Chain A
Amino acid sequence: MPSVTRWFIKSGMVCLLAALVGLVAMPAREFLPFPAVVAVLWPTLLHLLVVGWLTQLIFGVAHWLFPRRTREAPRGDERLMWLAWVALNAGLVLRLVGEPLALMGQGAGGILVASGVLQWVAAVAFIVNLWPRVKAR
C-alpha cells in the first residue's frame, strides 16, 4: 500500500471517530454541561463523515488500486496526491474551526473561504492524477 494511501485511510479513520464523538455529544448536551457550540455542529459533523471519512477513504484506495498509468509512473504523480491529502485535511480542520464560529455569529469568513478553496484544490488534484488511470483496456 503506498504511503499516501496509508495517510488518507488513517486520517479518514480519525475523521470518522471525531464525527462519531460529535454525534454522541450533540444529544448528550441535554444531560451534560457541554459548551453551546456543540448545538451547531451538525453540518460540520456531516462533512467530517462524508468528506473526511468517505471521500478520503475513496481517494486513498483509488490511488492504491486503480489500473496503473505507465510502467515508469504507475500511480501518476504522487506529489498531486500529497497535495490532495494536505489540502483536504487542512481544509477540514479550518472548517471544523470556522463553521461553528460562523454559525454562532462570530465571523470567521476568511477561514471558511480558505477551507472551501483548500478542499476544492484537493478534489482537483485527485481528479487530475486519477483521470488518466481511468481507462478501458
Chain B
Amino acid sequence: MTRLSSWAIRLALVHLGVAFTAGAWLLAARGFPTLAPPSWLRPAHLELALLGWTLQLAMGVAYYILPRHATGAARGSVRIAVVAITLFNLGVLTVVAGAAADQSAALLAGRLAEAGGVALFASNAWPRIKAFGT
C-alpha cells in the first residue's frame, strides 16, 4: 500500500469513528429528546459518513489498486494526489465547521474544496482506468 493510500484510508477510518459517534448520539436523542444534540450535528454526521468515510476510502483504495502506468510515475503525479486528498479533507472539515457556525460562506468554501479535491484526484486517476496491456 502506498503512503498516500495509507493516509487517506486512516483519515477515512477517523471520519468513520466520528461519524458513528455522532450517529449514536442522534439516534439516542430520537428516543430521549432531552439528549437533543446541536442542530448542526446531523449535517456533520452526513458529511463525515458519506464523504469523509465512504468516498475517501474509495479514493484511497483506488489510488493503490488502479492499473499503474508502464512508464514514468507508476500512479501518476504523487503531488497532485497529495493536494487532492488534502484539499478534500480540508473541505469536509470546513463544511462541518460551516454547519456548526451556520456560515453559508464556509459551507460554500468547503464544498468547493471537496469538489476541487475530487476533480484533481479524478484527473490524476483517469489515465489509469484502462484495459490490461494498454
Write the residues of chain A forming the contact surface with B, with a CB cutoff of 8 angstroms.
Answer: 50, 54-55, 58, 66-67, 95, 98-99, 102-103, 107-113, 115-117, 119-120, 122-124, 126-127, 130-131, 134-137
Give 8 pairs: A residue, B residue, CB < 8 Å, sorted on A.
Answer: A55-B53, A95-B27, A112-B28, A119-B24, A123-B17, A123-B20, A126-B16, A130-B13
Q: Is B32 touching A109 in the complex (CB atoms < 8 A)?
A: yes
User: Contacting B1 at CB < 8 Å: which of A50, A67, A110, A126?
Assistant: A67
Write the residues of chain B forming the contact surface with A, with a CB cutoff of 8 angstroms.
Answer: 1-3, 5-6, 9-10, 13, 16-17, 20-21, 23-28, 30-32, 49-50, 53-54, 57
Contacts A54-B54, A136-B3, A136-B6; A124 near B17 (Cβ below 8 A): yes
Q: Is A127 touching B50 in the complex (CB atoms < 8 A)?
A: no
Q: How far is the CA of A119 from the CA of B20 in the complex (A)?
A: 7
- Give the residues in chain B near A119, CB-CB below 8 Å: 20, 23-24, 27
The interface centre, meaning the residue of A54, A120, A137 with most chain B CB atoms within 10 A of its CB, is A120
- Give the residues in chain A near B28, CB-CB below 8 Å: 109, 112-113, 116
A-B contacts besides A99-B30, A136-B3, 4 pairs, CB < 8 Å: A108-B31, A116-B24, A123-B17, A127-B17
Closest to A54 in B: B54
- Give the residues in chain A near B25, CB-CB below 8 Å: 116
The interface centre, meaning the residue of A110, A116, A117 with most chain B CB atoms within 10 A of its CB, is A116
Q: Is A131 touching B10 in the complex (CB atoms < 8 A)?
A: yes
Q: Is A110 touching B13 in the complex (CB atoms < 8 A)?
A: no
Shortest C-beta distance, A53 to chain B (Å), equals 11
Q: How far is the CA of A72 from the CA of B67 in the complex (A)?
A: 30
The interface centre, meaning the residue of B13, B49, B50 with most chain A CB atoms within 10 A of its CB, is B13
Q: How far is the CA of A54 from the CA of B1 in the complex (A)?
A: 23
Q: How far is the CA of A99 from the CA of B23 in the complex (A)?
A: 13
Q: Is A134 touching B9 in the complex (CB atoms < 8 A)?
A: yes
Closest to A98 in B: B31
Closest to B8 in A: A134
User: Contacting A102 at CB < 8 Å: which of B3, B13, B31?
Assistant: B31
The interface centre, meaning the residue of B5, B6, B27, B57 with most chain A CB atoms within 10 A of its CB, is B27
Q: How far is the CA of A102 from the CA of B32 in the complex (A)?
A: 9
Closest to B3 in A: A136
User: Contacting A112 at CB < 8 Å: which of B1, B2, B10, B31?
Assistant: B31
